[in-house]
Every structure is written in structure tokens, then in C-alpha cells.
Amino acid sequence: MIAIIDYNAGNTRSVINALQRLGANPILTADPKVILSADKVILPGVGHAATAMEALHERNLVDTIKAVKVPFLGVCLGMQIMLEFSEEGDVACLGLVPGTVTKFKSETEKIPHMGWNTVIPTDDALMKDIDDHAYFYFVHSYYVPKDQYTIAETSYILPFCAAMRKDHYWGVQFHPEKSASVGEKLLQNFLNI
Amino acid sequence: MLTKRIIPCLDIKDGRTVKGTNFVALRDAGDPVELAATYAEAGADELVFLDISATHEGRTTLIDLVKKVGAVINIPFSVGGGINSKEIVYDILQSGADKVSVNSSAIARPALIEEISTAFGVQCVIVAIDAKCVDGQWMVHTHGGRKNVGLDLFEWAQQAESRGAGEILFTSMDHDGTKDGYALEALQKLNDLVNIPVIASGGAGKKEDFLDVLHGNIAQAALAASVFHYQEIKIPELKRYLADNGISIRI
């Protein structure tokens, strides 16, 4: 069973739709018992980091998420709040993966980074059969800097982390649920882990 | 590298696409779900749905439509037309849309932009602006171009950005329907003024028009309706042409 954490994130329906197209049967839940009995857990998210953390605290989900032992995937803002801290609202986040979420700064480039961009994957189960320079759909104004947990990178203003992994925690900055067939391939990879 | 976006626009009334299409492959040219799926398959980067229903029943149908589209479509899509509260936005986003576009409601009450972006993030707010050039000045219009609201295009776009718009969709009423190319000069000025992405709309008639508007820094995306609906331009051929001419585009 795949649990999608329910904390009023905006893209929940899209993630459910994408998983259903793959034949999976995700359950949207804020119940710790259901989340901790799942085979896989997905943390969706669009919007604001501080608002998202507040919503997780309100539902007493922070300790639950930290207790998850199965493959876990954060999407977009869901990935960003897996880190220790976000500059978006200067908020302490889940701390599942070390690092700080940083604001894009540019005099010349548009912010948010919005649209389809190329991703350079590394050898990881989540990125299996994803082509070098495959196109994924991004929309974000903050980014995760590249570090040893980066398993795919993208360039906009600077090279940054497009996907990350630490132990059983995975995160993707782009929206696989909106990235056409290549996004579906990545979600299928997660289901196969 | 970030690519430029090609965006077909579908006008919706009471849950059906209004402008006809001559897609021979479609069983039902009026079915927006089928048309949207066709565009997604053809390589559209994003879709825009514009609801022109005037009635409450039409609105209810719209939510059902968003749910159906979301279940089928694996690319981003926005929904606009008559959106005047964050409660409606919540329903639309929860039904599976990624963004909403606001136009005359935001002109009537600019705080609407802040309300939506604060609640759901700037990434989901497109501020759509219809404008035409009046005595050398680009003026914002509503009611299909009939009413000059007395706002300067560039000032309104900057205000929209400062209030939390994530994108500007600028339609030139002077170019819309002419098939004679986009409003390049106004778009260039607009794109230089705002720091958020600009979607160009109005005037697409041939592949060269897309090349003209997508090269350099004039616009981040190009929207069109009839040239796609009537298959005067096919999206795979258009994207190949743009790529061959040096535009960063998703093939």
C-alpha cells in the first residue's frame, strides 16, 4: 500500500492521478498508523515551506514521518522540507537529509524557474532508464544545493539538486506527476524499489 | 537547459470546447478531455483552459471537467474564466489543475492575486491581461476588448507581479485573430520589466511567428488556439522547426 501524506498540499490530486494511471492504489491519509504500515510513502507539496511545516506540525505528522522505515519520496516542496532548514520563511524542516534550502538569486533570469528542463541522472534505482538530459517539469523559486546526496542535477542560474537520496529517503525537485511519460517512468521506478 | 513552452488554449463553455476543431482523429471534436489528451500526446508543454460559461451550472460542469482532464493528462494545465475567490481556486486545484488564471476579477479587486498566492503559492497564479494600443499607449481591456479599464498594461503587469503573480499571460487584442504574428515590441518591453515568466498570446498564424516570439528574451512561452485546433500547425512539426532554428524546446 502506498500512503500519500495528507496535509492540504496543493498537488495531491495530481500525484494520486499519476499513480492510478500506473495501476497503483494510493491512499491519501494523515493517520500515523496507516502511514507507518505502508509499503511506500510519498510526501507531495507545492506552496510555501513555512506553511507546509506548520500544517505537518498541526497534524502531529513530523514524528510519524521521521519514523518511516520504508522507501519515502518527497516531491517538489515535499523534497525541500526533507532538509534541515529552508530560507523560505526561515523555518526548521524535517531534517531527514542534511542541508539548507536556498533562494534563487539572479539579475537576469526569471524566478520562479518554471517549465521543462533537462535532468542529468546518476546511477540510482529511482533514475533507472531515465535518459541523460531527459525533460522534467519544474516550478520553484528555492533550490537544494548540490551535495553528496544529489542523484540528478539540473542547471538554472546554477547547477542544483534535481533529485536526492539518503538511505531510504528520496526526493525530486521536479514534478514527475506532470512530466509526461518520463515522469511516469520515474514514478514506476519508485514503485519498483 | 530550460525550454520555451508551447501552450494550446481551449475555450470551454458548459463543459465543451467552443471553437470547433477539424481533428479527424477525434471521435468528438467538442470533448475537451479528448482534445487535451491529443495535445499532450503531440508534445504540448502545458494546456490552458478558459471557461466562458456564464451560468452556475456551467461552473459545476467545469469542476467535473477539471477532474476528468486531471485523471487523463500528464502535463501541467491551468484553468481560467470567472475566478473571483480563493475558495474557487481551492476547488479547482483540488480537482487536479496546477494553476489558475485571473483576469477581470483581479482588475476589479487586485487583492485577489495576493489572496491566491498566499494561500497556494505564486506558482499557481497566472495573471491574464488583454490589452490594445490606444493612441500609442497599451491599455488593459475587459469584456472581450470592448471596455478600456484605464490601466496601463506595463503598470498593471508590474503591480500583478508585486502582488504575487507567478506568470503574466499577455494577449494583444490588436493581434488576436489576425494570424499576423505576436505583439513583439510590447512583449519585449513587458518581459524586460517583470521578473516572472511571460506567456505571449494573440497573433499566431505560422511557424515563423512562434520562432519570432520565442527567440531571445521576448517571451518564455507562446500560446495559440485556432492554428492548433484546425491543425494549420502541428505541434510536433512546430517543435522540430523551432529546435532546428536554435530554440531550446522539449522534443
Q: What is the CATH number of the domain that holds A49?
A: 3.40.50.880
Residue contact B196–A11, C-beta within 8 A: no
Structurally, chain A folds into a number of domains equal to 1
pLDDT in tens, B63-102: 899 999 999 999 999 999 889 999 999 999 989 999 999 9
Q: What count of residues does chain A have?
A: 193
pLDDT attached to residue B121:
86
Residue B123 has pLDDT above 80, yes or no: yes
Q: Residues B238, B243, B249, B251: what is their CA dihedral angle, to the nearest 10 degrees?
A: 70
Nearest-angstrom CA–CA distance, B45 and A178: 10
ipTM of the complex: 0.92
Task: Please give the residue range of the domain that contains residue A112.
Answer: 2-192
Q: Which three cell numbers stand for residue A30?
A: 494523515
For each of the domains in chain B, give its residue range(s) and CATH number, in order of start: 5-244 (3.20.20.70)
Residue A48 pLDDT level (bands cut at 50, 70, 90): confident
SS3 sequence, chain A? CEEEECCCCCCHHHHHHHHHHCCCCCEEECCHHHHHCCCEEEECCCCCHHHHHHHHHHCCCHHHHHCCCCCEEEECHHHHCCCCEECCCCEECCCCCCCEEEECCCCCCCCCEEEEEEEEECCCHHHCCCCCCEEEEEEECEECCCCCCEEEEEEECEEEEEEEEECCEEEECCCHHHCHHHHHHHHHHHHHC
Contacts of A175 in chain B (CB under 8 A): 76
Which residues in chain A (27-46) have CB-CB distances under 8 A to chain B? 46
Average pLDDT, chain B: 92
Residues of A in contact with B220 (CB under 8 A): 110, 114-115
Scored b (16 or more CB within 10 A) or e, B71-109 reads: bebbbbbbbbbbbeebebbbbbbbbbbbbbbbbbbbbee
Q: In whole angstroms, what separates CA B123 from the centre of its chain?
A: 14
Inspect the interface and report whether the beta carbons of B166 and A112 lie closer than 8 Å.
yes
Residue A69 distance to chain B (closest CA, Å):
29
| Contact residues for B16 (Cβ-Cβ < 8 A; gap 6+) | B30, B31, B32
The pLDDT value recorded for residue B170 is: 98
Question: What pTM was computed for the model?
Answer: 0.94
Q: Are strands A113-121 and B99-102 parallel, antiparallel or unpaired?
A: unpaired
* pLDDT tens-digit map of B203-251: 999 999 999 999 999 999 999 998 998 889 999 999 999 999 999 999 9
Percent of chain B with pLDDT over 90: 75
